[in-house]
Amino acid sequence: MLPLAFLACGGVCIRGDSVVKGNQRAAGRALGAPGFTAGNLIRVLLCACLLLQMPSVAQAYDRGTEDDDEPDIADQFTMGVMGACLAAFVGSAPWWAPPRVIEDDRSLDGRFPHHPYEDGHGGFLILDNEHLLPHTRVGDFFFRGTVDAGSNFDGIDRLGANFHLETRNRWGIDVDWATYNVSPGSHAPDDFDVGDVSFIYRFGQSEHAQWYTGFGFNWLREKPEELNFGYNFTYGADVCIGNPWVFSFQLDAGEVEHNSYFHGRATLGAQWEGVELFTGIDYIDVNVSDASTLVAGFRFWF
């Protein structure tokens, strides 16, 4: 209360002349004091009220310091609302931050060349406001296929494949499959297969980067006769960081067989005429099995 009172008084005192500028001279003459304006009168009255209220404000402040150990419901509610807003702001950053960084206002669609950096373009998307060379081949959709193999060099080997399709209107599909061969003595209990199918939306796009997210289902097979299904959420991006390099990452999270499911991978590759050779790291954590493997493979862009 005390700081607010000083701010209120100071603010009105500073702005008093401008607020009553049109009437202060007349008010001063009416009071019989040519040098005493309405602004001066307001200042005097406010300062007098402040001086009269200072003892009660000080007492209230003293009581507040004595009751600091007692919870204030209003303060707790305010802090809770502020905390929830901050959590929502930070938690939603992966979706609103990339479009702002790459300046995607969703006003432009794009078309795809046959592979990244084709005809000297800086990435893998040609926006509608860009000039096309006469011989540049573009399409309203693209797809790529991926095959890779990996190992943790401790008894777990991985073989995987991926199919990824995106369209001009930003919708697409992502299909992922991997089989893990577990050697005796490894920390994983047995061989297993995992995969997912997600329907995706490209929420951020530029010539150099495409960000996508989606939802679908996953599956887990730990025994030949046992196949379990669950739900899957996916989030990823492909970034053309400079010819011929392409950086890609993808995160999958969900649940299968009443257990949490998480899969993440990040790769760096070099492409030439639509064929990309890449290497990176892949991590899977599902049910009682988890594995972090180094991977290498080929990606074919169409």
**Beta strand 141-151 pairing with 171-182:** unpaired
Q: Are 290 and 260 in contact (CB under 8 A)?
A: no
The pLDDT-based confidence of 183 (bands split at 50, 70, 90) is confident
The pLDDT-based confidence of 4 (bands split at 50, 70, 90) is very low
Give pLDDT, residue 15. Answer: 41
pLDDT surpasses 50 at 165: yes
Q: Give the tens place of pLDDT for each residue, 115-154.
A: 899 888 888 888 876 666 666 778 899 999 999 999 999 8
Torsion angle in degrees (nearest 10) through CA of 129, 130, 135, 139: -60
CB atoms within 10 A of CB 65: 7
Ordered domains of the chain (ranges, CATH): 2-70 (no CATH), 110-301 (2.40.160.20)
pTM passes above 0.95: no
Give pLDDT, residue 47. Answer: 53
Q: What is the mean pLDDT of residues 209-213?
A: 97
Give pLDDT, residue 216. Answer: 97
CA distance 95 to 236: 11
Give pLDDT, residue 59. Answer: 55
What per-residue string of b and e applies to 13-46 under the rule 16 or more CB within 10 Å gives b? eeebeeebeeebeebbeeeeeeeebbbbbbbeeb
Give pLDDT, residue 7. Answer: 37
CB atoms within 10 A of CB 162: 19
